[in-house]
Structure 1
Amino acid sequence: MTKTKKVKKPSVLRRLLVLGLKLALIGVVLLIGYVIYLDASLTERFSSNRYQAPALIYGRSLTLEPAAPISREMVVAELDRLNYQRVTKVADTGQYSVTEYGIDFYRRPFDFAQGPQMAQRVQVNFAGDRVQAVMSLPNGRRLNRVELEPPYLGRLSGGNKEDRLLVGLERVPSLLIETLLLIEDRDFYHHSGISLTSIGRAALANLAAMRTVQGGSTLTQQLVKNLYLTRDRTLWRKANEALMAIVLDYRFSKNEILETYLNEVYFGQDRGSAIHGIGLASRLYFGKQVEELDPADVALLVGVIKGPSYYDPRRYPERAQERRDLILQLMFAENLISQSQYVASVNQPVIPHGSGRLVSENIPHYMELVQFELGRMRLPENWQQDGLRVFTYLDPLAQEAAEQALTRELPKVSEDSELQGAVVIANHEQAGITAVVGDRNPRRVGFNRAVAAMRPVGSLIKPLIYAEAFSSLSDFELGSLLFDEPLLYEQQGQPSWSPQNFDKKHVGAMLAYDALAQSRNVPAVRLGLSIGIDRIVDLLQASGVDTPIPNVPSLTLGAVPLSPLAVTEIYSMLAQQGAHRPLQSIRAVTNHQGLTLFERQQTDAKQVFSATAGYLVNYGLRGVINEGTGSKLADAFGVNKLAGKSGTTNDYRDSWFVAYDNKHVIAAWLGRDDNQPVQLTGSSGALRVVQGVLSQLLITPLELQTPTDVQAAAFHPTLGVRIPVECNHARLLPARKKQLPEDLGCSGEIEEKSWWQRLF
């Protein structure tokens, strides 16, 4: 019998080794596949969608030029609002001093809507409440104008609640870059995304300092974690982070990664929004542009990166200062700063007094309007990739005046806690909306009455009727007779209508100027019916009204619901003597790099009625202030400075007043949301709010540009006909030029002259 040979089985160790090799091979294949996947997806995401940048909203730029109606106190308030530091001697950007004749300030560099402007030291002298001269320092060269950077108002975004202002690497000070790399990643330009050397060096540095002063992760790893990963402390996340860092380092340049890091790194919170990037962080903590950062600023910002909450200089100034000073020591030890810079830096406050906030107060009603206008613009679909910078017409001085006037005056005019109000202020020269308040509580988010409250306007419609009469009725003048007598209007198929005056009385025949100044209802109705209801509808539409307008006789007394914003647009047209331009809140839009996406053009305005008619109605509305229903404003501010109009609706449900000077139009409305009576006229309610606004603004007296076909004319006070100007009882009013008969007498009749008068 033959013996069979036994086959020797592989040892357990060998089998485990083979299995391990197979698994390793599978692991390598999977790893390669995963790296290929990361390479494709990460490269695409990093190239096109690194982060979302919001729309940053700015107010108007305060422009200083000779003869501008701006006081020294207004400029000081603006500089304080922009976080300029008041010093005895100006030496650096962001500083100002008050001199004997004016203000000396060093304007920061800023990317304005029209392009970047460098830092500039300027002296502005004043004569009373006007700019006298603007000079460049130190050479004393006279300048035509200089603009301060606009105030930051807030942000609009897609809902991620991240704020950032994208800045290019070329704008970042080299000291900040060198300090960042010193503390966070010394071998940044030499490793391939991860660095074992950095991990070892960080461990030694932390051991020597007996505290954590350096991190082991590279900047690339930190960027990957911030952009794409969670903060879970797991081996899988750390391994994933390392692989992604290697991919990024392979696919993108070091400068691209560094620039992205500087725009992504987290610096803390501001009013519920996360502040990302060095651009907004420098504004948040120091009120400075990135280019202005000094060594102490650089050290603090780099120090905050390690723990934005723990080292928050607003909440923990001692802790933040300790961290900053430690980094300053390292900067000095590495010869990044001199000894004198080190000494000066450690003695600086952590952050300047008054900083630590990007926005001092929210302005929800104005921002709502900006958001609405942005939504109607044709902007790039991927605008959040490059962000937006939106430059508006908002004037912080006007906004503050409107808010304070409304909140202060409402309790004074009525004890009704349900009384609401709205104020809109516009610059009629620029057709720009400079202030919006839509609630008695200016911070309350919700129903914005300035834009959405549609209320009957009452007598506010009368100037349109008079303006059209001046345009279309050749014989109608300010000195023409109107009749304040009972009127019964009957129309087939409709109930009869008998309009009444506010005082329920009739005064008979009166000059058109007096009827307008005193806001008599019946004369306005007679005049409106003579020009036609259809024409009044056309006028409203030509003045910017795009909501339904009832074609009824009561339209002559303002039976049309309009918002305070629509009323402001109509009166801006009147202030421009009949030239209409739609009011807007947005002046220009750029992306964060400064590329212009929208710029409002100063196109020719549409003439709603002739400049002559516009001049005559403005003269009448100036009479409303001088001697009519708005005379309280003349008592407060002087005659011939303002024009305006009051409005009161049936049963005292709505109180309106509009006033304007050579620059501002101010419209105020008071009423209740449930439309119950408030027992206020336009003069007893809304006028008080307008007066409160005007008391805080510099009034630029209204300058009426007299057309060439208008001259001073004399009218008979009771007959409403032209008479010679030398007549004692004549009413002098502007009117179209007209050749009067040589034998016209003071009675308004042709008078037969004696042979002696004819001889001489």
Structure 2
Amino acid sequence: MRYLLSLFIKLGIAALVAVVFYAIYLDSSLTKRFANERYEASAIVYARPLSLQPLQPLRQAQLLTELEQLRYRESASLSGSGTYRRSGNTVEIHRRPFDFLDGPQMAQKVRVVFDGGRIQRVVSLPDERMLEEFKLDPLLLGQITGDEGEDRLLVGLERVPSLLIETLLLVEDRDFYHHSGVSLSSIGRAAIANLAAMDTVQGGSTLTQQLVKNLYLTRERTLWRKANEALMALIIDFRFSKNEILETYFNEIYFGQDGGRAIHGIGLASRFYYGKQVEELSPAEIAMLVAIVKGPSYYNPHRYPERVKERRDMILQLMFGQQLISQQTYLAALEERVVAPKVARAGRASAPHYMAQVKQEMDAMQLPKSWAKDGLRVFTYFDPIAQRAAELSVTEQLPRLSKQAELQAAVVVANHQQGSLVALVGDRDPQQVGFNRATSALRQIGSLIKPVTYGLALAQPQQYSLATVLEDAPLQFETETGQIWQPENYDGEFRGNILLYDALVGSRNIPAVRLGLEVGLPAIIETLQASGVTTPIPKVPALTLGSVELSPVQVSELYGVFAHYGRYRSFKTIAGLTNHSGVGLYVHRPSSGVSVYDPLTIELVNYGLRGVVNEGTGRRLLQQFGQDALAGKSGTTNDYRDSWFVAYDEHNIVTAWLGRDDNQPIHLTGATGALPVVASTFSQLGVRPRDVTPPAPLEMRAFHPEKGVQIPMNCRSQRRFLSHPQPVAEGMNCAGEIEEKSWWQRIF
């Protein structure tokens, strides 16, 4: 017996020493991991905040659609944030508080008054003060996870409502602030409470133990795991404050699945289930989220609403019994719906092609790999209204234009004022994940290249003007391989002499080729490269008719030069970055860009591109939007393989491409194919007409309709174009000829 007793004592001492050394090891490794590597936070991607301004083109229905996407609730009282009410041509909104890129803004009430397709005024409530601008909180576009693939939105403990904290502790760990990580009394009390309720109403494990299990241990049910869990909980409780542990718990706890992504943390859970920030949760919503904690799969509110309601109501009863809520609040909460019916990607906009571009831009930023520690909030330029317009245009127009199932499409909507991409569609099925034709499909651009040539010519005002006479006659070249290249006009006809303006407006091929060779292929190549083209550019005469291959985004940037004062800027998707605490990390400040054309030359090119819409291949836009509202250009490639159209107003550029992936003909021109898609998109977006006031010293001048020479302004037969100022030649008559003066006129 003495031998056995001695042996047991020695074994006990050895076990104690082993436990001590293991505890020291755990203390060292666990403390470091808990302090620096608790969890991985995702990058939360937001759309642009909808800015409401007087005279802004916006229909009431578009505002209501965005409020529904943001999961605002229609309410007659407008008492809580995240609500709205409508009456006639007005919508009153109680905006949620939100940490915008430029700083936090509190909840606020406003009245928005509409006049047809525009906002008439925005009024602050209740003081009836007129506002120049009011921003809604932005739509959650999606998440980008780090290396671990975990998805969460970090929130500080100060943002968690006290009612949520008290309810969680009431149900899960009443002695949280009084035990040392493990509580034997909690285990006993939980067992008694569960027997009395004939249900699991309280847990035996402390919050610290649950946190340890979620962070570091497996789900296996063994004594070793339970002992390990208890020891780790004691160490964490000793090393860290209760508030640090509680904040970590709120950010780590698992709340279920959204398809293939796991919902971690109260911040993301409140967004996912209710479309709210955690501060806005009602007592019923708090009770539902606490109910899920026990078993997110078993208590899935979308699959088992009755089961979840029963547990939620039991928790509400506990809250009322502990005087956390009043009887009136308790009875009202019992009547609330557990959760809204699940819709596809609830509370988020699905735009896979835009998200792909955001990810690509983030990769190019070379962010530090440690960004997942504090998380990222990615504020983009994504415009849900523009995205819906582009998607609807593709899905409605393609079946009308062609019965070819292989017909594909891409649409890009960009804001040239801020140098941003606001919407992308890269497939005829806008939700199709995969090849993004908006950014990656390189296709010949056809006649879209012609404004580049005309711009180079008009930059030489001593030699060229909009009234310069060009030759539209047969032309042929011998290529390097000995083949004969003989370009033709789309109608197969030749018009002889034609004014430069008419050649641009009518998209005549032969005059464009001749002019391109006059200004020089090297100059065209250099201008394309200055306009952001990085793809190979063939130095052949066919370049003048668009043999270069560009993506729809590159085409948008090319036309951004014409739309924005002759300067090139790369269009971005990301407006700024902060961490989850709101600390600013990056703000996109649009540069002035690289000068490609001087402002006067650009004004002349834009005059011609407005003519394309007013009287050329884009006349359909004139019928819809009026004189000079838009400028644009069509593009069609050989054998009708590609159909392009680009149009822009004071703010937006819309680029549409139609074609087939196998490069087979689609039998559509730019005007019959892509233009209807652009027209449909602008009809939903609304048009902000460009300012057509000519800058000094440009002015309207009269020209002979056939000879292109400047003639007196009072001539009956004339063409008027924007032009550099130059005096009418002495003796010039209305026939475009200089009259010989008589001896009497020469004297006097």
Kindly provide the CA deviation profile for residues 584-630 of structure 1, in whole angstroms up to 9, marking residues without a partner as x: 11111111111111110132222210111111111111111121111
Q: Which residue of 2 aligns with 1:5?
A: none
CA deviation after TM superposition for structure 1 residue 395, in Å: 0.9
Q: Which residue of 1 aligns with 2:300?
A: 312
Q: Which residue of 2 aligns with 1:413?
A: 401
Give, in whole Å, the separation in 1 of the partners of 2:237 and 2:487: 81
CA deviation after TM superposition for structure 1 residue 743, in Å: 3.9
Mapping 1:334-353, distance limit 5 Å: 334-352=322-340
Mapping 1:250-329, distance limit 5 Å: 250-329=238-317
1:43 aligns with 2:31: yes
Aligned with 1:583 (options 568, 571, 583): 571
Kindly provide the CA deviation profile for residues 15-40 of structure 1, in whole angstroms up to 9, marking residues without a partner as x: 22211111111111110111111111
Mapping 1:343-382, distance limit 5 Å: 343-352=331-340, 357-360=345-348, 362-382=350-370
CA deviation after TM superposition for structure 1 residue 474, in Å: 2.5
Kindly provide the CA deviation profile for residues 85-107 of structure 1, in whole angstroms up to 9, marking residues without a partner as x: 11223111000011344211011
Q: Which moved more, 1:164-173 or 1:350-359?
A: 350-359
Mapping 1:17-36, distance limit 5 Å: 17-36=5-24
Give, in whole Å, the separation in 2 of the partners of 1:742 and 1:726: 15
**Cα pair distance change 1:758/1:122, threshold 3 Å:** farther
Give, in whole Å, the separation in 2 of the partners of 1:561 and 1:193: 65
Number of residue-to-residue matches in the alignment:
748
Aligned with 2:91 (options 85, 103, 107): 103
Give, in whole Å, the separation in 2 of the partners of 1:758 and 1:181: 107
1:535 aligns with 2:523: yes
Aligned with 1:558 (options 546, 549, 562): 546
CA deviation after TM superposition for structure 1 residue 82, in Å: 0.4
1:591 partner letter: N
1:379 partner letter: L
Q: Which residue of 1 aligns with 2:454?
A: 466
Q: Which residue of 2 aligns with 1:77?
A: 65
Give, in whole Å, the separation in 1 of the partners of 2:343 and 2:128: 32
Q: Normalising by the residue count of structure 1, what TM-score does the alignment of the two structures yield?
A: 0.95
CA deviation after TM superposition for structure 1 residue 14, in Å: 2.4
1:171 aligns with 2:169: no
Q: Is the CA contact (8 Å cut-off) linking 1:223 and 1:265 kept in structure 2?
A: yes
CA deviation after TM superposition for structure 1 residue 419, in Å: 1.7
CA deviation after TM superposition for structure 1 residue 561, in Å: 0.7
Q: Is the CA contact (8 Å cut-off) linking 1:285 and 1:357 kept in structure 2?
A: no
2:495 partner letter: V
Give, in whole Å, the separation in 1 of the partners of 2:481 and 2:263: 66
**Cα pair distance change 1:742/1:435, threshold 3 Å:** same
Q: Which moved more, 1:693-702 or 1:229-238?
A: 693-702
1:227 aligns with 2:215: yes
1:231 partner letter: R
Aligned with 1:238 (options 226, 243, 248): 226
Give, in whole Å, the separation in 1 of the partners of 2:281 and 2:194: 27
**Cα pair distance change 1:493/1:299, threshold 3 Å:** closer
1:87 aligns with 2:97: no
Q: Which residue of 1 aligns with 2:644?
A: 656
Give, in whole Å, the separation in 2 of the partners of 1:360 and 1:376: 25
Q: Which residue of 2 aligns with 1:180?
A: 168
Q: What secondary structure, in the 3-state scheme, does the structure 2 residue paired with 1:717 have? A: coil
1:635 aligns with 2:623: yes
CA deviation after TM superposition for structure 1 residue 491, in Å: 7.5
Give, in whole Å, the separation in 2 of the partners of 1:158 and 1:95: 34
Give, in whole Å, the separation in 2 of the partners of 1:37 and 1:649: 71
Q: Which moved more, 1:458-467 or 1:661-670?
A: 661-670
CA deviation after TM superposition for structure 1 residue 271, in Å: 2.6
CA deviation after TM superposition for structure 1 residue 178, in Å: 0.9
**Cα pair distance change 1:45/1:492, threshold 3 Å:** closer
Q: Which moved more, 1:361-370 or 1:506-515?
A: 361-370
Give, in whole Å, the separation in 2 of the partners of 1:131 and 1:636: 21
Give, in whole Å, the separation in 2 of the partners of 1:464 and 1:386: 47
Q: Which residue of 2 aligns with 1:504?
A: 492
Q: Is the CA contact (8 Å cut-off) linking 2:419 and 2:590 kept in structure 1?
A: no
CA deviation after TM superposition for structure 1 residue 635, in Å: 2.3
Q: Is the CA contact (8 Å cut-off) linking 2:81 and 2:280 kept in structure 1?
A: yes
Aligned-pair identity in percent equals: 56
Q: Is the CA contact (8 Å cut-off) linking 1:152 and 1:358 kept in structure 2?
A: no
1:723 aligns with 2:717: no
CA deviation after TM superposition for structure 1 residue 754, in Å: 7.3
Q: Is the CA contact (8 Å cut-off) linking 1:287 and 1:355 kept in structure 2?
A: no
Q: What secondary structure, in the 3-state scheme, does the structure 1 residue paired with 2:685 have? A: coil
Q: Which moved more, 1:468-477 or 1:234-243?
A: 468-477
2:645 partner letter: F
**Cα pair distance change 1:152/1:411, threshold 3 Å:** same
Q: Which residue of 2 aligns with 1:622?
A: 610
**Cα pair distance change 1:232/1:458, threshold 3 Å:** same
Residue segments in structure 1 that go unaligned for 5+ positions in a row = 1-12
2:531 partner letter: S
CA deviation after TM superposition for structure 1 residue 688, in Å: 2.3
Q: Is the CA contact (8 Å cut-off) linking 2:411 and 2:654 kept in structure 1?
A: yes
1:153 aligns with 2:141: yes
Q: Which residue of 2 aligns with 1:612?
A: 600
Q: Normalising by the residue count of structure 2, what TM-score does the alignment of the two structures yield?
A: 0.97
CA deviation after TM superposition for structure 1 residue 238, in Å: 0.9
1:426 partner letter: A
Q: Is the CA contact (8 Å cut-off) linking 2:191 and 2:204 kept in structure 1?
A: yes
Q: What secondary structure, in the 3-state scheme, does the structure 1 residue paired with 2:187 have? A: helix
1:626 partner letter: N
Give, in whole Å, the separation in 1 of the partners of 2:500 and 2:519: 15
1:232 partner letter: E
Kindly provide the CA deviation profile for residues 260-300 of structure 1, in whole angstroms up to 9, marking residues without a partner as x: 10001111111311011111111111111111112111111
Kindly provide the CA deviation profile for residues 182-218 of structure 1, in whole angstroms up to 9, marking residues without a partner as x: 1111111111111111111111111111111110111
1:67 aligns with 2:55: yes
Give, in whole Å, the separation in 1 of the partners of 2:619 and 2:223: 78
Kindly provide the CA deviation profile for residues 542-588 of structure 1, in whole angstroms up to 9, marking residues without a partner as x: 11112221122211110101111100111122111312211111111
Q: Which moved more, 1:279-288 or 1:736-745?
A: 736-745
Give, in whole Å, the separation in 2 of the partners of 1:392 and 1:516: 36
1:195 aligns with 2:175: no
Q: Which residue of 2 aligns with 1:749?
A: 737
Give, in whole Å, the separation in 2 of the partners of 1:317 and 1:201: 29
Give, in whole Å, the separation in 1 of the partners of 2:7 and 2:215: 38
Q: Which moved more, 1:685-694 or 1:604-613?
A: 685-694
Give, in whole Å, the separation in 1 of the partners of 2:342 and 2:302: 10
1:548 aligns with 2:536: yes
Residue segments in structure 2 that go unaligned for 5+ positions in a row = none
Kindly provide the CA deviation profile for residues 324-351 of structure 1, in whole angstroms up to 9, marking residues without a partner as x: 1111111111111111211221121212
Q: What secondary structure, in the 3-state scheme, does the structure 1 residue paired with 2:515 have? A: helix
1:204 partner letter: I
Q: What secondary structure, in the 3-state scheme, does the structure 2 residue paired with 1:695 have? A: helix
Give, in whole Å, the separation in 2 of the partners of 1:82 and 1:474: 57
Q: Is the CA contact (8 Å cut-off) linking 1:577 and 1:618 kept in structure 2?
A: no
Q: Which residue of 2 aligns with 1:207?
A: 195
Give, in whole Å, the separation in 1 of the partners of 2:172 and 2:704: 88
Q: What secondary structure, in the 3-state scheme, does the structure 2 residue paired with 1:288 have? A: coil
Q: Which residue of 1 aligns with 2:722?
A: 734
Q: Which residue of 1 aligns with 2:43?
A: 55
Q: Which residue of 2 aligns with 1:683?
A: 671
Q: Is the CA contact (8 Å cut-off) linking 1:716 and 1:729 kept in structure 2?
A: yes
Q: Is the CA contact (8 Å cut-off) linking 1:284 and 1:356 kept in structure 2?
A: no
Q: Is the CA contact (8 Å cut-off) linking 1:643 and 1:661 kept in structure 2?
A: yes
**Cα pair distance change 1:356/1:499, threshold 3 Å:** closer
Give, in whole Å, the separation in 2 of the partners of 1:428 and 1:389: 24
Q: What secondary structure, in the 3-state scheme, does the structure 1 residue paired with 2:365 have? A: coil
Give, in whole Å, the separation in 1 of the partners of 2:467 and 2:273: 63
2:598 partner letter: S
Q: Which residue of 2 aligns with 1:9?
A: none
Give, in whole Å, the separation in 1 of the partners of 2:229 and 2:597: 69
